[in-house]
């Protein structure tokens, strides 16, 4: 059982890295909203066959409600991530997503009154230190990395997205353990709802289906590849969450940052790879401490 969830989470990490890299490639030419909407539509189409493998006798209104709520939160988080990746190095954005386990612990403290142990506090400090080191550049003042995280648009988007993803992770764990929701059913409905959310949003604020059609004609193959990676890594993550604690699964999945940093250096010629890898290691180590002591 241990090796099963770990294998799922590790494969999810590899695929998540592929998703981030192909998304960055498409976003070199695409607007964040048109890319996100086009990707969401393809995700829904690829996830469609899962509808034929659902045990509809077990499906309840609460399952649909959980998928609907997380689709709205997840769509907002994904758009924020997309905006961030478009304007910053993907090798810098990916490690910052490792803030999620720390955010989950802090939310549990604030919302549920769960006290933090010494090891959990240590884990949070490692995550913060790794994030600080990631944003620390030569010539910066000591406070500049913190100002960048709070004030700089792409970095601020990452922080908002991490909070939203932490909330969806808690909802997903509750849905799988308490509501007995099947991962395939959940994934299929979430992707369909997210596609609807994005089509409505792009129709209201942008050019609607026309913009999506143009996006697919320009970067269709990259978006399709990103969609395949996205659906598969989400499915494997959900299967792992059904078996193990969500914080532990997310921590293993966030090791995708290592693969993303190395690949980004090769394909996008991003610099400071060693510093990014060390910072990422601190973030992941802190997340592991948080997960193991939860």
Model confidence at 156: pLDDT above 70: yes
> How far are the Cα atoms of 140, 168, 184, 245 from residue 2, in angstroms, in the given order?
43, 23, 21, 11
- Averaged over 119-146, what is the pLDDT? 69
pLDDT at 148: 61
- Averaged over 55-60, what is the pLDDT? 87
Write down the mean pLDDT value for the chain.
83
DSSP state for residue 89 in the 8-state scheme: -
The model's pLDDT over 252-272, given as tens digits with 9 standing for 90+, comes to 787 788 888 888 888 877 777
pLDDT at 137: 58
> How far are the Cα atoms of 79, 156, 168 from residue 151, in angstroms, in the given order?
18, 6, 25
**Whether the Cβ atoms of residue 198 and residue 43 lie closer than 8 Å to each other:** no
Domain boundaries, the chain: 2-292
pLDDT at 172: 79
């Amino acid at each position: 059982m241990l090796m099963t969830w770990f294998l799922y989470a590790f494969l999810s990490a590899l695929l998540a890295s592929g998703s981030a890299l192909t998304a960055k490639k498409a976003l070199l030419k695409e607007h964040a909203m048109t890319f996100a909407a086009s990707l969401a539509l393809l995700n829904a189409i690829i996830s469609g066959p899962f509808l034929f493998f659902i045990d509809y006798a077990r499906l309840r209104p609460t399952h649909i409600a959980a998928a609907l709520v997380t689709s709205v939160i997840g769509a907002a988080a994904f758009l924020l991530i997309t905006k961030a990746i478009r304007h910053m190095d993907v090798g810098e954005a990916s490690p910052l997503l490792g803030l999620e386990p720390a955010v989950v612990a802090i939310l549990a403290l604030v919302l549920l009154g769960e006290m933090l142990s010494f090891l959990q506090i240590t884990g949070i400090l490692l995550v913060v230190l790794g994030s600080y080191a990631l944003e620390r550049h030569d010539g910066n003042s000591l406070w500049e990395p913190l100002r960048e995280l709070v004030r700089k648009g792409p970095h601020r988007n990452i922080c908002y997205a991490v909070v939203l993803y932490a909330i969806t992770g808690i909802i997903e764990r509750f849905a799988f353990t308490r509501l007995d929701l099947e991962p395939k059913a959940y994934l299929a409905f979430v992707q369909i709802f997210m596609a609807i959310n994005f089509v409505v949003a792009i129709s209201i604020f942008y050019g609607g289906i026309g913009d999506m059609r143009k996006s697919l004609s320009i970067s269709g193959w990259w978006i399709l590849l990103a969609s395949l990676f996205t659906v598969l890594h989400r499915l494997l993550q959900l299967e792992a969450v059904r078996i193990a604690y969500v914080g532990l699964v997310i921590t293993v999945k966030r090791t995708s940052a290592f693969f993303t940093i190395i690949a980004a250096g090769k394909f996008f010629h991003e610099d400071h790879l060693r510093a990014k890898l060390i910072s990422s290691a601190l973030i992941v180590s802190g997340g592991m401490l948080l997960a193991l002591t939860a």
